[in-house]
Structure 1
């Protein structure tokens, strides 16, 4: 018998904000919280517990889930939410330094036929650490046929801003989002992978039409430049374009539409300001030849993870963009008119913890990961 709390979407689950109290039976032992948002009543059910800083989530065709833990473990989670106590084998050494470790996980669009699983992670090498991407196939509890497809260069000793999300587009290209590694000017360099979006074929080859492939001295894998630290990426369900968000410094978190060869401005232009002093960064908030964000948050929400809702369970939310936020421990719902954000609603503030990832489930529910030493997989379910 579990307690269920009916809460307004903007309130944390404190006794002072309880509107009603009832009891219900669920298959999980966790508390299920019920919320009334602007358009939809929903409950949050804790599907799995005991994950250490979970970072990325992917759904296998048989109903199981793959979850990455930042310290360097890849977990299998059953359809019933049970976390296999034995992590998967076959991963290379993972450098769990600072904000780095095992990061995103994604399935190949033709996974049912080829079995490829893609992982982004931080590895050590000459000069320090950097984000890398591999693919492998799952055989029992082991990743086999492992191939490293990308290595971020140059590596450095800083412990922050590794990115990294993995997204396939409708043409089968793989996009990898990276951070500037805490070294701002690297984001404006064509001979440096830092602070950019990478575009590859599924086997790691560089596409012939990548924008900087034939530029002398440029890293041919680069698709953009001028990005600070991208930790959310998703394909727009109508246009098929890649949308991303990135962290700003003390403000200036951005949503952008990713297009070939575009300079997104960091650190020359930004709405953020220097930590501590609050002084201006760069040359202002706009400059010819540099893209303006589609949307920005000042003060910062520290966004991580994003998904367009495309399921059938929440009809009022179809086409909305959902963004996880580490700051204020919330889920942000954005209503869109084409490529414009026309409304924002903040959900779950303080309710379940720092939201690291957001995913559409194959069952039509919304799934969240919380970034904590005792992180969870949570599921949003509609309530009539």
Structure 2
């Protein structure tokens, strides 16, 4: 039984109630993935923007960040050296939209994240200390006008007739115009967001050529009668890059599902949680 509880982080922002913009109920865009990095033994915590434009580019809060902390919730000592002035020292990277997956390269232990984008883009990013992911949904930037609740993370992306290229210009997932030094994603779909979610690295000789490759999952979003996403992709990264060398879809006998979480088991199998209420175990052939 659980005999005691210690809250090591208490001030991660959380969206308490629905707001005036068209999407997202309470709890939306909260990130929520936690993983220990075997390379440095710190806990990495991913958070989201809560549909709040005052979080991503400002360091006085823990929203839209990846945190790097010890087991007592204290900042990793090296965090502060890479951060802009005024940032909470628990911050490892900032400027994120909604980081739903994090995994660590088997050789370098570099954190690799999956970042759930707006209607036009998802990203896979390799994090560096103090890095800015370039998400900034504030109004009156890049030619934007007023937006519901001062959050331009969707508007007017959902407008009919706006093609994907225009959406990216209006509300870029990574705004290089404003933040030219923002981290460059390893991969983007640059089409419609397909609801990227979790990430893990396949490990073990049983996986053959896939040993050491990154797997990322998708929740899928339907447009009209054509759903997209709902799959697992296998991505080959250069060992010391990382640079994507290959990206393919994993054949799944069970078919599509809203893949919510991926984790490697001690038996060398890949386990996946899906929104439909099952846990799948995938073994190599």
Q: Which residue of 2 aligns with 1:162?
A: 30
Superposed, which structure 2 residues align to 1:127-166 within 5 Å? 142-158=1-17, 159=26, 160-166=28-34
Quote the offset at 1:206 in angstroms: 2.0
Q: Does the residue aligned with 2:126 lie in a helix, a strand or coil?
A: strand
- Note the aligned Cα RMSD (angstroms): 2.6
CA distance in 2, matches of 1:199, 1:319: 24
Q: Which residue of 1 aligns with 2:274?
A: 370
TM-score, normalised relative to structure 1 = 0.57
Instruction: Kindly name which structure, 1 or 2, has the bigger radius of gyration based on alpha carbons.
Output: 1
Where does structure 1 lack aligned partners over 5 or more consecutive residues? 1-141
Q: How many residues align?
A: 239
Q: Does the residue aligned with 1:315 lie in a helix, a strand or coil?
A: helix
Where does structure 2 lack aligned partners over 5 or more consecutive residues? 18-25, 143-152, 221-228
CA offset digits 1:86-120 (Å, max 9, x no partner): xxxxxxxxxxxxxxxxxxxxxxxxxxxxxxxxxxx
Quote the offset at 1:213 in angstroms: 9.4
Quote the offset at 1:202 in angstroms: 1.4
Query: Larger RCO: Structure 1 or Structure 2 (Cα < 8 Å, ≥ 6 residues apart)?
Result: 1
Q: Which residue of 2 aligns with 1:184?
A: 53
Task: Find out whether 1:322 has 2:191 as its counterpart.
Answer: no
Q: Which residue of 1 aligns with 2:40?
A: 171
Q: Which residue of 1 aligns with 2:184?
A: 292
- Report if aligned partners of 2:134, 2:183 keep a CA contact under 8 Å in 1: yes
Q: 2:88 aligns with which of 211, 219, 228?
A: 219
Q: Which residue of 2 aligns with 1:332?
A: 233
TM-score, normalised relative to structure 2 = 0.76
Superposed, which structure 2 residues align to 1:161-310 within 5 Å? 161-169=29-37, 170-211=39-80, 217-267=86-136, 274=155, 275-277=157-159, 278=162, 279=167, 280-281=170-171, 285-287=175-177, 288-298=180-190, 299-310=192-203
Q: Does the residue aligned with 1:314 lie in a helix, a strand or coil?
A: helix
Comparing both structures, which one devotes a greater share of its residues to strand?
1
CA distance in 1, matches of 2:94, 2:260: 24
